[in-house]
Each structure stands twice: as structure tokens, then as C-alpha cells.
């Protein structure tokens, strides 16, 4: 028992605050998240909350990290290494969409417009990598299992992806050149766009069956990456 009773109580109450804030976030959204409302729900004075959370921005950061972790876990759960590469990619994409539909306000916090006056600190980028890494793993496994199409016919185009993304996008492999990595980044940000467009209401009236439409589209994106299936 390395921590005292006070420390335990402190951690428990801090966790309570973050959990209550998550509930608030799910109900009213990030920009309307109120520290006073969290305090009210916990039966605390608003000033007491500041003993545990230094500021509203810090609370947002915690929710941001928790959101990235939650999304990353959902993506990992949706992955099934036994499937063909293309089907794996589609399954992970569907997992991401399902999480977004279940947590729309959290998705807005992660990938929507930034909260005014708030800049995400550097700690959040590692958490943000978790879901992207799942796609990267599918890509890497496909390369090693031969489930990735060869070099595109016009692969002489510049690819323009930074060297930092190599580890997260499947690692080093002869089949994984910058051209296919650029395609993967395109597929990833396209998926972001599809989910956001659906969630933010930009596809109402455009599609007849949102889920089937999404599945078909991410399948096209998997083809664009060159995944076999």
C-alpha cells in the first residue's frame, strides 16, 4: 500500500469528476461542457473541483485522451487478423464508424472543429495514433502476407509522406513504399471525412442506407490502397 487513504480518495474523486464530465460531454457536447454542472452532479461546490482539475482545458485534455483511447480500443476490437486484408480494413473502418455513432460528441471533440481557445497539448498525439495504428497494422500484415498489390503503374509520382509515419504504417517492407503509404493516408482521412459527413448531417438525402453506403465506400478505399480480398 504505497498510497495513503487521502491519496486514494483523491484519485477516486478525480476519476469521478472525469467520468461525470464524460457523461456531460455525451449529453451536451464539448463546447457546452460546464465545470459547475459537473460539480453540481457530484454534490460539490464548483470551487472544490478546482482542487482536483486545474482548469476546464485540462479536463478537456483528459477527455480527449480518453476518447482517443476508447476509439483505438474499438478499432482494435473490430480487427480480425484472420480475415483477408481488404475485409480486415473494411471491418476496422466499420468499427470506427460504429464507435463514432455511439459517441457522436466525443467524435466531434476528436475530429471536429477545435474548441475555441483550446489547443491540444502534445500528450494527445500519441493517444491519437492508437486507432491509426490499427489501419497501419492491417497494411503491414498485408505486405508481409503478400496481400498487397504491387507497385502502381505510375508510382513515379512523389508521395510526400513524412518519414515519421513509417513505423505506424506497417513498418519497413519492400512492398511498402511511400506511394502506398500515401494511399493509406488518403484512405484514412477519407474515412474521417465519411464518418464526419454522416455524423454532422451532410449526407442526409444523399444516401438511402448509410451503413451499407459506408461499407461500400470503405471497400473502394481498401481497393485504392491495394489490399487483396
- Interface with DNA by CB under 7 A: which residues? 4-6, 9-10, 13, 33-37, 43-48, 50-52, 55-57
| CA atoms of 66 and 83, how far apart (whole Å) | 29
For residue 68, report the phi and psi dihedrals to the nearest 5 degrees: -60, -40
The nearer residue to DNA, 13 or 152, going by C-beta atoms, is 13
Q: Are 227 and 193 a contacting pair, CB within 8 Å?
A: no
Bridge partners (DSSP) listed for residue 227: 148
The nearer residue to DNA, 2 or 163, going by C-beta atoms, is 2
Minimum separation from the CB atom of position 15 to DNA (A): 13
Chain contacts with its own copies (rule: CB under 8 A): 28-32, 105, 108-109, 111-117, 120, 128, 157-162, 164-165, 182-183, 185-186, 189-194, 196-197, 200-203, 205-209, 212-213, 216-217, 220-221, 224
Q: Are 96 and 107 a contacting pair, CB within 8 Å?
A: no
Minimum separation from the CB atom of position 191 to its own copies (A): 7
For residue 148, report the phi and psi dihedrals to the nearest 5 degrees: -120, 130
Minimum separation from the CB atom of position 9 to DNA (A): 7
DSSP 208-225: S-HHHHHHHHHHHHHHHH
Amino acid at each position: 500500500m504505497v498510497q495513503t487513504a487521502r491519496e486514494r480518495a483523491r484519485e477516486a474523486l478525480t476519476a469521478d469528476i472525469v467520468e461525470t464530465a464524460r457523461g456531460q460531454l455525451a449529453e451536451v457536447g464539448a463546447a457546452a461542457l460546464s465545470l459547475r454542472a459537473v460539480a453540481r452532479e457530484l454534490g460539490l461546490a464548483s470551487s472544490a473541483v478546482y482542487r482536483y482539475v486545474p482548469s476546464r482545458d485540462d479536463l478537456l485534455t483528459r477527455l480527449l485522451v480518453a476518447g482517443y483511447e476508447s476509439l483505438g480500443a474499438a478499432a482494435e476490437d473490430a480487427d480480425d487478423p484472420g480475415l483477408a486484408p481488404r475485409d480486415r480494413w473494411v471491418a476496422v473502418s466499420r468499427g470506427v464508424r460504429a464507435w463514432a455513432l455511439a459517441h457522436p460528441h466525443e467524435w466531434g471533440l476528436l475530429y471536429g472543429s477545435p474548441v475555441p481557445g483550446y489547443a491540444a497539448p502534445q500528450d494527445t498525439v500519441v493517444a491519437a495514433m492508437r486507432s491509426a495504428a490499427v489501419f497501419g497494422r492491417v497494411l503491414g500484415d498485408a505486405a508481409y502476407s503478400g496481400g498487397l498489390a504491387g507497385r502502381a503503374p505510375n508510382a513515379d509520382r512523389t508521395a510526400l509522406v513524412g518519414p515519421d509515419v513509417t513505423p505506424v504504417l506497417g513498418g519497413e517492407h519492400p512492398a511498402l513504399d511511400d506511394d502506398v503509404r500515401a494511399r493509406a493516408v488518403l484512405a484514412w482521412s477519407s474515412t474521417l471525412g465519411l464518418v464526419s459527413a454522416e455524423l454532422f448531417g451532410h449526407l442526409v438525402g444523399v444516401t438511402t442506407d448509410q451503413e451499407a453506403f459506408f461499407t461500400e465506400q470503405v471497400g473502394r478505399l481498401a481497393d485504392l490502397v491495394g489490399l487483396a480480398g
